[in-house]
Amino acid sequence: MSTAPRRPKFPLSLDAVVERKPAPARTAGMPAVGGARGAAMAAKSLAAKAPAAPTPAASAVQARASASTAGGGGMASERARGALAARLRAAGIRDERVLDAIATIPRHLFVEPGLASQAYEDAALPIGHQQTISKPSVVARMIELLRDGLAADEPLERVLEIGTGCGYQAAVLSLVAREVFSIERIRPLHEQAKANLRPLRVPNLRLHYGDGMLGLPQAAPFSSIILAAAGMEVPQALLEQLAVGGRLIAPVAVAPPAGGPGQTVTQQLLLIERRNRHRFHRTALEAVFFVPLKSGTI
């Protein structure tokens, strides 16, 4: 699936080292990159019993999201988004900031008009070039895992997304993080994402055209990294660009047991927490289905 160069010394091959248990609860403030900032965030979280207080960037995007759908079907789409968020809450998503973002971003703007009526179903939909817009429940789940332990008024810090696709998840991330960088390897999709995002004028999101397997060294380190495509393993460059104290969430292929019936390769979500320069703690989570992570650009 992935054409990544294989590294025999890769410290984190996907094998028996994965720990099969739910993600541990995290202390508020932990994901901050620096100690002082972490302490400040922890203090802030004690002070606030938060309804999801948006950053200034987030409230501006919220206003434009309403404006951009105010014409045809605006109210209907707002209701559909609210209903989608309610379904995700009922399905177990707890992070109010994530639910708010899902209720805010008009997903129908990110699919072709013929599919707009399905935009608020919890389903992946085609976006061309053999790629898909991710399922909202999976988008919400992955972001919630990155945010685990943060209060609603605490944004993620610096987030890197691999696989912009149509730009939907990047838009959701922009409402729950201070800064978002997103990379896409298929140029027409990168251009499409720019066009989709234009009416929302998201000030804290930067789109890059390139191979996300190499990360974005010029903007590293990242406190959170999220992959929207599944590789055989997590690229080494991304691990290197994860800040100490940071989290990475990725779908990763799991080979069937040796000697088994073969063929079927399944995927599971993998959460990686960087404990220090050399220690990465891995937690294997539920099975998922994503498009493949591929190297190079087209």
Q: How far is the CB of 124 from ligand SAH (least distance, A)?
A: 8
> Whose Cβ is closer to ligand SAH: residue 141's or residue 151's?
141
Task: Please give the Cα distance from 92 to 89 (Å, whole number).
Answer: 5
Listed ranges 30-38, 45-53, 206-214, 241-249: which one lies at the site for ligand SAH (CB under 6 A): 206-214
Q: Select the residue interacting with ligand SAH from 228, 242, 252, 288 (CB under 6 A).
A: 228
Residue 213 binds ligand SAH (CB under 6 A): yes
Question: What's CA 44's distance to the chain center, in Å?
Answer: 24
Supply 212's token pair. 């996300």
Residue 241 binds ligand SAH (CB under 6 A): no
Residue 215 binds ligand SAH (CB under 6 A): no
Residue type, 234: V
Q: How far is the CB of 171 from ligand SAH (least distance, A)?
A: 8
Residue 134 binds ligand SAH (CB under 6 A): yes
Listed ranges 37-45, 158-166, 241-249, 269-277: which one lies at the site for ligand SAH (CB under 6 A): 158-166
Residue 120 binds ligand SAH (CB under 6 A): no
Active site includes 295?
Answer: no
Task: Please give the Cα distance from 89 to 232 (Å, whole number).
Answer: 31
Q: By rule CB under 6 A, what string of x and - marks binding of each residue 159-188 to ligand SAH?
A: ---xxxxx-xx-------------xxxx--
- Count of residues in contact with ligand SAH, rule CB under 6 A: 25
Residue 236 binds ligand SAH (CB under 6 A): no
Residue 229 binds ligand SAH (CB under 6 A): yes
Marked catalytic residue, from 134, 182, 223, 224? 134
DSSP state of 258: T
φ, ψ at 255 (rounded to 5°):
-70, 145
In the three-class reduction of DSSP (H, G, I as helix; E, B as strand; rest coil), residue 223 is classed as: strand
Query: Of 178, 171, 193, which is closest to residue 104 (Cα–Cα)?
Result: 171
Task: Please give the Cα distance from 178 to 183 (Å, whole number).
Answer: 17
> Whose Cβ is closer to ligand SAH: residue 32's or residue 183's?
183
Contact 88, 94 (CB under 8 A): no
Find all residues with CB under 8 Å of 89, minimum gap 6, and list them. 99
Task: Please give the Cα distance from 103 to 85 (Å, whole number).
Answer: 6
Contact 99, 140 (CB under 8 A): yes
Q: Which residues are catalytic?
A: 134
Q: Give residues in contact with ligand SAH (CB under 6 A).
A: 131-134, 162-166, 168-169, 183-186, 189, 211-213, 228-229, 291, 293-295
